[in-house]
Amino acid sequence: MSFNLKISCLGSLRFLNNVRSRSSDRKKGQLSLDEFEIAEIQLIRSVQAQSFTDEKLISNLSVFRDDNNIIRVKTRITES
């Protein structure tokens, strides 16, 4: 994913959070690393939801969902 796409998503997420928050809780200033990581996770989830609508596409793989609800593939390295 491009850096510009992540920044655009991050700006949108911050805007939505600020609209939903009280004025005292709104975030301003530079974007934080935590916000950047959350935006990246949201983008990955969105792409996976669009790409894997049919479970048959990944049924022959050994997949699992991680703590962030992202689809991952089990490998020998992840099992050790």
Pairing type for strands 63-65 and 71-73 reads antiparallel
- For the chain, first and last CA: distance in Å? 29
Residue with tokens 């020998």: 76
Q: Which two tokens stand for residue 24?
A: 């005292």
Gap between the Cα atoms of 75 and 27, Å rounded: 40
Tokens of 79: 């099992």
pTM above 0.85, yes or no: no
For residue range 20-79, list pLDDT tens digits in order.
888 888 878 887 888 888 888 988 898 888 988 887 778 788 888 899 999 998 877 766
